[in-house]
Amino acid sequence: MTKRLLAPLLAAVLLSGCWGARNIDHIVYIHAVGIDYQDGKFVLYVQLVSFSGLAKVEAGGAREQAVLSVGKATAETFDLAAHKIYQSIQQMVSWGHVKSIVFTKRALQPHVIRNTIDLLTRYNEIRHTIWVYATDEPLEQLFRATPLLLTSSYYSLLSNPEELFRQSSFIRPIRLNRFIAHLDEPAMTARLPYLGLTKTSWTEDEKNKTMLQLQGVCFLHHYKLQACARFPEAKGIRWVEQDIHRTPLAIRKEGKIAATLIIRSPHAEWTLKRDNGKYTAHLHVRIDGNIIEEANDSLSRNELVRLAKQTVKQEIRRTYQWGASRGIDTLNLSAVFHRNALHEWRRLSVNGTIPLNDRFLPSISVDLIIRSGGKEKADYRVGD
């Protein structure tokens, strides 16, 4: 009988592995990482978020003033800068809750990106699904911008971009693993969301409040930054991007807003046609929309559809031509050739990009269905 009891007791002693457990308050959790590059050195920023207030809110308690800290260190490499952070932080550091990494435009250089990605993919605490951004703002100011109503930075745009993207889709947020894949693709141009700060859009307690804001997109090819575009030049991307959930389309007539549509889940399909040995690209966009505003009551439904389709085409062409004038394949037309006409891509491409001239400007067709007109519920379909 004694022998029978002895074995389970020994097993219980060996399995009780909580001696080395640490209290959550004794560990510092890094929430976001920022990379700048100045005078040949890495400037590392880390944003720390307190989980104690977050736990109280989720348990039904009252919200407290959001607490966050920002650390900074400079060194020749990312890792050396991180160890300088350790020297002054005075507590054990956990990288397991990092949600995003932000590069300044100065840091978007091939050797800086490669060094950073190499470290992040080697270090087992950091997930490969963190969000990646670019910015031209001072990183300390960017990390000190907190959400409204005392909400924790744990729910900010840095860590939770999908909620905003589902409600208003322009630039698709990108995770680290997808960003790396796009950089390594020979014909792909990576599109990185561009973060800025708005200081006049919101007030809190009668004072201007600085808020994070998506302001455009940066284009990188083979780990090299090409340029960054603001929203007016980048609007055409939403019609060729995947997983666009909900995006507004403003319809203008004679320079004035005539109506606004809410477009859901647009679908783009590329085809290549060969004629006399030459390839041309065609883009077909299918969109469904609801009329959310109609400022011009005299506008016929056919005219509204015509203007909407025309606007989509103009946005796509503007984005393509903005990039073509700078040698940037904003629509990733080179990737279409790489997938569907590999021999032609090899013949034409220079450093992975096909010539971005008028010959390769894609022809565009748009198929629009208006699902709801607001007061009247009906289907309206007009094709090219």
pLDDT tens for each residue of 267-310 = 999 999 988 878 999 999 999 999 888 877 778 888 999 999 99
pLDDT-derived band at 323 (thresholds 50, 70, 90) equals: very high
What's the pLDDT at 7? Answer: 63
Does the model's pTM come out above 0.75? yes
At residue 62, the pLDDT reads: 52
Look at 269 and 28; give whichever has higher pLDDT: 269
Quote the CA–CA distance of 113 and 220 in Å, as a whole number. 11
For the chain, the farthest-separated pair of C-alpha atoms sits apart, in whole angstroms, at 95
CA atoms within 13 A on the CB side of 168: 6
Give buried/exposed letters for 330-357 (b at 16+ CB in 10 A, else e). Answer: bbbbbbbbbeebeebbeeebeebbbebe
Query: Which residues are registered as beta bridge partners of 263?
Result: 247, 289
- What's the pLDDT score for residue 371? 82
Q: Would you say residue 1 has pLDDT above 60?
A: no
More confident residue, 348 or 378: 348
Look at 375 and 179; give whichever has higher pLDDT: 179
- Whole-number Cα distances in Å, 54 to 61, 67, 71, 145, 150: 9, 10, 21, 17, 11
Buried residues in 125-156 as b, exposed as e (16+ CB within 10 A): ebeeebbbbbbebebeebbebbbeeeebbbbb
Using CA atoms, how far apart are residues 362 and 242, in angstroms rounded to an integer? 18
Residue with the two structure tokens 């220079």: 350
Pair 192, 101: CB distance under 8 Å: no
3.30.300.210, 3.30.2130.10, 3.40.50.460, 3.30.9.80: which CATH number matches 240-384? 3.30.300.210
Average pLDDT in the 326-334 region? 96
pLDDT, mean over the chain: 87
Predicted confidence at residue 379, as pLDDT, reads 47
Q: State residue 203's pLDDT score.
A: 85
Q: Where are the domains of the chain?
A: 27-235, 240-384
The whole-angstrom separation of Cα 34 and Cα 133 is: 9
Supply the pLDDT for residue 382. Answer: 45
The reported pLDDT for the residue numbered 328 is 97
Neighbours of 318 (CB within 10 A): 16
Q: Which of 54-63, 65-74, 239-248, 365-374 has the lowest mean pLDDT?
A: 54-63
Question: What CA–CA distances, in Å, run from 43 to 37, 88, 165, 193?
Answer: 6, 16, 30, 21
pLDDT at position 29 over 60:
yes
Q: What residues does 350 pair with on adjacent strands?
A: 353
**Tens digits of per-residue pLDDT, 47-58?**
998 766 555 555
Query: Residue 14: what pLDDT?
Result: 56
Question: pLDDT tens, 211-258?
Answer: 999 999 999 999 999 999 999 999 999 999 988 999 999 999 888 888
367 confidence band (pLDDT: 50, 70, 90) = very high
